[in-house]
Amino acid sequence: MKLNLKPGMAQRPRQVVDKLANAVRRKINLGKFHLRGKPVPLRKGPPEALLGFGRFVANPRRFGGFVSGPALAAAITAEIDPAAGPVLELGPGTGVFTRALLARGVAERDLVLVELDQKLAARLRIAFPQALVLCCKAGSVTAEMLEGRRPAAVVSGLPLLNFPDEEVERIITATFAVCTSDTALYQFTYGPKCPVNKDIRARLGLTAQRTTRIWRNVPPASVYRIIRN
């Protein structure tokens, strides 16, 4: 499988991985690739993992992991009530949590997906045409941008541990400002504590409780429910 990378030329990580993703995608369409001249069948699956990996390599601070596993996706969406109203998702990436929300029974038209990466946002618009996809920073979301929707729940795929406290507080403040009074925000983390630290929670009048720990995820993760006092 040739990537046609020009020798002696430095390429940005995103360019390299995009070439790899495109090459693999072409081979996936053929149903096989060749290893040392022998055809090898490929396991069917979406190329999202490669795309997620590419974004992580290009900007590891913004993309805290490659692609979340199904166990984490099921855990972070477990308490979502499909009948409660719209769901706001921060940092949906390749749509792993989004698909889990749909599996929970959330209507696609009730999804608001906030994704900073333009290429990922474009893919989300194609994959979920009925959802409202906003390509912007999570901390810049306003009520006007939500077009009358008032989220009853928030699912965050943002790697908040990678962000400075000021940015975390800005994101959390903006998020709760556009939601209903009893909205719960579900945030995952690979760390031992809630990624929204106690000082921020105290200033914003929030309470955090860990709902579950997912050992089957790689790496192991926890989910926190964050609500207003």
143 in Cβ contact with 178 (< 8 Å) = yes
Q: What is the pLDDT of residue 15?
A: 57
Residue 148's region, left for phi above 0, alpha for psi from -120 to 50, else beta, is left
User: What's 2's DSSP letter?
Assistant: -
Per-residue pLDDT of the chain (229 residues; tens, 9 = 90+): 445 555 544 555 555 545 554 554 444 343 443 434 444 343 344 455 555 544 544 554 444 454 568 999 999 999 999 999 999 999 999 999 999 999 999 999 999 999 999 999 999 999 999 999 999 999 999 999 999 999 999 999 999 999 999 999 999 999 999 999 999 999 999 999 999 999 999 999 999 999 999 998 888 999 999 999 9
Dist CA 146 CA 105 (whole Å): 21
Q: Which domains does the chain have, with CATH numbers?
A: 13-58 (no CATH), 70-228 (3.40.50.150)
Question: What is this structure's pTM?
Answer: 0.75
Q: Which residues, other chains included, contact 195 with Cβ-Cβ below 8 Å and sequence gap of 6+?
A: 160, 161, 168, 187, 189, 224
Report how far apart, in Å, the C-alpha atoms of 226 and of each of 17, 54, 60, 75, 88 are: 35, 30, 25, 15, 14
Query: In this structure, what are the phi and psi dihedrals at residue 215, rounded to the nearest 5 degrees?
Result: -75, -25
